[in-house]
């Protein structure tokens, strides 16, 4: 049975340390604060917002949610972003995904001040990420690396397969792993014969959003399995990995829930604090 990579325990541990940092900053006159723009009533977004709000309150970070109607116009959204860009009390800005069809997400992200881009999704910050001189890192990718570091899983020279090519997980994670001298392949649901790639992988990260996509037959003995997927199956939350069959064959594996999810939220808080400290020269 592979060792469980306990993301929840690590997130709680890191939160205690971050809370002490925030308390010190507040005594010095800096109170980290970020704003979340949520458009519409997507059920999953509501859950994420509640989790972020709870964690921010525990750590002492200020958070404000701007709840916009599902039919909000692009002009209104851009006006709100411009307002938050000008607000010196706001250290971080993020747009909760997904957004309605009438919203041009790329245009909206381009308008966020890169110095307040807590998600690392503005064009300039994405460019810095791939160039290797980034300041912030996307929360999920940051959390995955933190988990690997905590369990002393070295990436240098490892063959890594990432299933999923999103801008918030797959692509930025590939950039960060390349920085650590891993050999990275980015796959997706249109890739022919996933098995040919995954069978050779030392580390597999699945962020495809398809329940039980990764099976025991697809991995080699001793592989490290990172499951980022969140899927609902038979009224249960499951990942992309068929945990029951894969766990006995893996050396390390993340559970769902309790793996990467808590670290994503914790990592977001860390990025907010980094931006606040940089803004105030601390």
Just list the catalytic residues.
Answer: 52, 96, 119
Residue 210 burial (C-beta neighbours within 10 Å; 0-12, 13-18, 19+): middle
d(CA 59, CA 56) in angstroms, rounded, equals 5
d(CA 232, CA 250) in angstroms, rounded, equals 23
Q: What is the dihedral of CA 8, 129, 17, 30, to 10 degrees?
A: -130
> Phi and psi (nearest 5°) for 232?
-105, 120
94, 119 Cβ separation under 8 angstroms: yes
Distance spanning both ends of the chain, measured CA to CA? 45
* Distances from the Cα of 139 to the Cα of 46, 85, 120, 265, angstroms: 18, 21, 9, 7
Q: Please, what's the b/e burial string for 145-171 (b: 16 or more CB within 10 A of its CB; e: otherwise)? A: bbbbebeebebeebbbbbbbbbbbbbb
55, 269 Cβ separation under 8 angstroms: yes
d(CA 182, CA 252) in angstroms, rounded, equals 18
74, 95 Cβ separation under 8 angstroms: no
d(CA 82, CA 123) in angstroms, rounded, equals 17
């Amino acid at each position: 049975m592979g060792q469980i990579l306990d993301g929840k325990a690590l997130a709680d541990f890191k939160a205690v340390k971050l809370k002490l940092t925030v308390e010190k900053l507040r005594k010095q006159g800096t109170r980290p604060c970020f704003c979340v723009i949520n458009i519409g009533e997507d059920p999953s977004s509501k859950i994420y917002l509640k989790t972020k709000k709870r964690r921010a309150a525990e750590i002492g970070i200020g958070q404000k949610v701007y709840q916009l109607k599902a039919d909000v116009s692009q002009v209104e959204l851009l006006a709100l972003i411009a307002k938050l860009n000008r607000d010196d009390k706001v250290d971080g800005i993020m747009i909760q995904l997904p957004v309605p069809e009438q919203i041009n997400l790329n245009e909206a992200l381009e308008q966020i001040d890169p110095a307040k881009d807590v998600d690392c999704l503005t064009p300039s910050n994405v460019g810095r990420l791939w160039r290797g001189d980034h300041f912030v890192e996307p929360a999920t990718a940051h959390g995955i690396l933190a988990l690997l570091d905590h369990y002393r899983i070295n990436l240098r020279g490892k063959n890594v397969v990432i299933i999923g090519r999103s801008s918030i997980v797959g692509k930025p994670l590939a950039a960060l792993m390349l920085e650590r001298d891993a050999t990275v392949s980015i796959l997706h649901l249109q890739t022919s014969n996933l098995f040919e790639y995954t069978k050779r992988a030392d580390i597999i990260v699945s962020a495809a959003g398809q329940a039980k996509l990764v099976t025991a037959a697809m991995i080699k003995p001793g592989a490290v399995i990172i499951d980022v997927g969140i899927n609902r199956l038979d009224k249960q939350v499951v990942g992309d990995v068929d945990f029951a069959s894969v766990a006995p064959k893996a050396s390390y594996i993340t559970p769902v829930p309790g793996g990467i999810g808590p670290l994503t939220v914790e990592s977001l808080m860390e990025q907010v604090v980094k931006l606040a400290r940089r803004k105030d020269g601390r």
